Structure 1
């Protein structure tokens, strides 16, 4: 009403109204504190002597974007990721910190919560709903039911993260069912993971209270889930890109858009630098035929409607938090100006909000609990001269199948065979400090290197080492113990590339720029040496991942995922 004067007025806005699906010219927006007070043709009644007035000069003004499902416990700390997200207009991140919990349990979850506070971006968390992936084989930490109930009392913890595998629900696994019940009793959101589910199984999953999924890879899967009342997060990130398979069919079918969102599911430094974040989803969707205002609604309003936060966020209207983007045009969707809660965070395409470096507890930078290796730790023995090995055959960086190879033993020791593209692969429990480990053989890697090792893997976080010889496997492993985590490439005893991941062995404490450079060197050093895959960093990431076919290696052994049984490395 103007009785109290505004702190900020934006005038001459072309307002992107996600509530009426229109662009409203010559709009003025008055902001008091962190909220919007007035949206209309004339805000001069709210202008006082201390009010800052910005003439937007007929640029486009819209609400901040959101990523409704991603894992920000990857590569860089939340403070570093926040900068990149803000430059792309993403002011809200819905984080599923499954790997931090895998390594650090509830204590790690609390530590990560603190790192997401007091930043110029809103970070909301969920309790990981996927741990352990398979209790028979998994080595990961997880939360107890009482810890989950305690976690959701935090104002920025919204509910349960992606519940996979869905068979835990259809088979009514007791811990999963208790978690679901607890979340429903607290009126919390439950996110889904429905890859491979359909008909009766999908119905059962949805009826348990799970109302979203980011796994559909085509329109038929999207439509089946929408018909069952689900919300769909169309994934366009570093692991999968599904927009082009889904958006054109959504438009030709005339499907309602109000339950569709964009999500990344996680972004690596190269992709966010090259493509962007949710802004990239908007640009690509417009190229595929989506109206700009609809793309903005999917990037903003729909996310907050799903998370029951629409009264505060998702659009520009009185009473809403002032998360506001200003664009030059409706093509780039790369905002030059970003306000979060009425405070200027990005000006002229640069971060202007001060971000303080947070103190990290020493214990979470000391999670690689392994003794120094010798090359003998990678030996596989056999008294037979010729053996048939069961190999993990790499079909892609992610998908594997069981393979077979003839290998020879010398002095009762079986070696890898670089000529035949047969590698050793080992998994060591580095989280709990046990001596648990397994060693097997990997096929179809193709790089002329000595070893490639990582302490970060979905969602087991064993130390994974791929090697053509035991000596370089020793060097790689000891390098990661010394660094307390990371990825490393070794040849002839020399480090070719290294990406330190000091926080829980999965996240770097270095700057985004340094991490991006080191990450690029890791992949390039392997690809340039003849690797058959363009993104080799994904191989150790997924080798222990029990939610995908067909053969995985963990510190407890080599696993046939479908049969849920262990496989011997040699017959």
Structure 2
């Protein structure tokens, strides 16, 4: 009403209305504190002597973008990710910190919440819903039911993260069902993961109260889930890019868009710089024929409708939090100004607000609980002159199958065979201090290096070491033990690339720019040496991942995922 004067007024806005799907010209927006007070043709009544007035010059004004599902416990600290996401117009991140929990449990979850607070971006969290992936084999830490109930009392914790082992729901795993019940009783959101589920299994999953999925990779899967009342997060990130398969057919079939969103599921540093974040999804969808206002709605309003947060966020309207983007056109959709809570945080491609780096407790930088290793720790013993070995055959960086090959021995140690492209691969428990480990064989890697090691692998967080010789494998492992985490490439006893990940062995405490350089060197050093895959960092990341076929390796053994049984490295 103008009784209290605005802190900020934006004049001459071309308002992108996600509520009426129209562009409304010459709009004025009054903001008091962190909320919008007025949206209309004339905010003069709200202007006082201390009111800042910005003439938008008829540029487009829309709501801040949101990524409704990603894992921010990767590569860089939340404060570093915040700066890059804000430049892309992403003002809200919905984080599923599954790996920080798998390494450090509830204590780590609490610390990670602190790292996401008091930043110029909104970070909402969920309790990881996928741990352990498979109780028979998994080595990860997880939260107890009482800890889950305690966690969701935090104002920034919204519910349960992706329940990706959907068979736990269809088979009514007791712990999973208790978690679902507790979340439903608390009116919390539950995120889904339905890769491979359909028909009655998908019906059962939805009936349990899980109403979203980011896994559909084609239109038919999207349609089946929409028909069952699910919300779909179309994934366009570093692991998969599905927009081109989905958007054209959504448009050709005239599907209602109100339950469709974009998500990244996680972005590596190279992709974030090369493509962008949710702004990339908006641009690509417009290129594929989507109406720009619909694309912006999918990047904003629909996300907050799903999370039951539309009272506060998702559009430009009175009473809403003032998360606002300003961009020159509806084609490039590149924000030149970004407001979060009415505060200008990005202007002309630069962060103009303070982004403070939080103090990190020393204990969470000491999670590699392994003693120094020697080449003897990578020996596979046999008294025979040759053996028939089972191999993990790499079909892609992610998908594996069971292979077999004849290998020779020397002094009782089964040797690798670069002629046959057969490597050793080892998995060490690095978080429990058990010294448990297993050595097996990897096929179809193809790089001319000595060893490649990583402490970051999805949801199990063993230390994975791939190598052509035992000496370089031990050197690579010991570098990671000394550095307390990371990725490293070794050849002939020398480090040729290294990416330290000091926080829990999965996150760097260095700047985004430094991490980007190190990350690119890791991949390029392996690719340039002849690796058959363009993203080799994904290989150790997925080798222990029990949610995908077919053969995986963990510190407890080599696993046939479909048969749920262990495999010996030698037949």
Which TM-score band applies after superposition, normalised by the shorter structure?
A: over 0.9
TM-score normalised by length of structure 1:
1.00
What is the alpha-carbon root mean square deviation over aligned residues? 0.4
Corresponding residue of 2:418: 418
- 1:332 CA displacement: 1.4
Corresponding residue of 1:471: 471
Spell out the pairing of 1:27-176 with structure 2 (5 A cutoff): 27-176=27-176
Corresponding residue of 2:364: 364
- 1:97 CA displacement: 0.1
Give me the whole-angstrom Cα distance separating, in 2, the residues matched to 1:39 and 1:465.
Answer: 58
Corresponding residue of 1:383: 383
2:242 aligned with 1:224: no
Give me the whole-angstrom Cα distance separating, in 1, the residues matched to 2:431 and 2:333.
Answer: 42
Q: Give per-residue Cα distances to partners, 1:51-71, cap 9 Å, x unaligned.
A: 000000010000000000000
Spell out the pairing of 1:13-24 with structure 2 (5 A cutoff): 13-24=13-24
SS at match of 2:418: coil
Give me the whole-angstrom Cα distance separating, in 2, the residues matched to 1:356 and 1:458.
Answer: 28
SS at match of 1:129: coil
- 1:420 CA displacement: 1.2
Q: Give per-residue Cα distances to partners, 1:289-312, cap 9 Å, x unaligned.
A: 000000000000000000000000
- 1:470 CA displacement: 0.3
Q: Give per-residue Cα distances to partners, 1:368-392, cap 9 Å, x unaligned.
A: 0000010000000001111000000
Corresponding residue of 1:179: 179
- 1:463 CA displacement: 0.3
Corresponding residue of 1:496: 496
Give me the whole-angstrom Cα distance separating, in 1, the residues matched to 2:384 and 2:278.
Answer: 56
Q: Give per-residue Cα distances to partners, 1:256-282, cap 9 Å, x unaligned.
A: 000000000000000000000000000
Corresponding residue of 1:200: 200
Corresponding residue of 2:530: 530
Corresponding residue of 1:480: 480
- 1:347 CA displacement: 1.1
Give me the whole-angstrom Cα distance separating, in 2, the residues matched to 1:229 and 1:179.
Answer: 22
- 1:348 CA displacement: 1.4
SS at match of 2:420: coil
Give me the whole-angstrom Cα distance separating, in 2, the residues matched to 1:327 and 1:486.
Answer: 38
2:340 aligned with 1:340: yes
TM-score normalised by length of structure 2:
1.00
Give me the whole-angstrom Cα distance separating, in 2, the residues matched to 1:128 and 1:347.
Answer: 35
Corresponding residue of 2:515: 515
Q: Give per-residue Cα distances to partners, 1:432-476, cap 9 Å, x unaligned.
A: 111110000000000000000000000100000000000000110
Q: Give per-residue Cα distances to partners, 1:189-221, cap 9 Å, x unaligned.
A: 000000000000000000000000000000000
- 1:345 CA displacement: 0.6
Give me the whole-angstrom Cα distance separating, in 2, the residues matched to 1:272 and 1:333.
Answer: 16
- 1:548 CA displacement: 0.2
Give me the whole-angstrom Cα distance separating, in 2, the residues matched to 1:194 and 1:151.
Answer: 25
Spell out the pairing of 1:303-342 with structure 2 (5 A cutoff): 303-342=303-342
Give me the whole-angstrom Cα distance separating, in 2, the residues matched to 1:348 and 1:391.
Answer: 53
Aligned pairs, how many? 571
Give me the whole-angstrom Cα distance separating, in 2, the residues matched to 1:394 and 1:50.
Answer: 64
- 1:411 CA displacement: 1.3
Q: Give per-residue Cα distances to partners, 1:172-201, cap 9 Å, x unaligned.
A: 000000000000000000000000000000
SS at match of 2:370: coil
Give me the whole-angstrom Cα distance separating, in 1, the residues matched to 2:213 and 2:422.
Answer: 38
- 1:427 CA displacement: 0.1
Give me the whole-angstrom Cα distance separating, in 2, the residues matched to 1:445 and 1:311.
Answer: 51
SS at match of 1:353: coil
- 1:412 CA displacement: 1.1
Give me the whole-angstrom Cα distance separating, in 2, the residues matched to 1:179 and 1:232.
Answer: 22
SS at match of 1:336: strand
Spell out the pairing of 1:413-452 with structure 2 (5 A cutoff): 413-452=413-452
Spell out the pairing of 1:226-241 with structure 2 (5 A cutoff): 226-241=226-241
Unaligned stretches of 5+ in structure 1? none
- 1:509 CA displacement: 0.3
Corresponding residue of 1:191: 191
Corresponding residue of 2:374: 374
SS at match of 2:513: helix
Give me the whole-angstrom Cα distance separating, in 1, the residues matched to 2:410 and 2:31.
Answer: 76
Give me the whole-angstrom Cα distance separating, in 1, the residues matched to 2:109 and 2:333.
Answer: 34
Give me the whole-angstrom Cα distance separating, in 2, the residues matched to 1:105 and 1:239.
Answer: 25
Give me the whole-angstrom Cα distance separating, in 1, the residues matched to 2:250 and 2:164.
Answer: 26
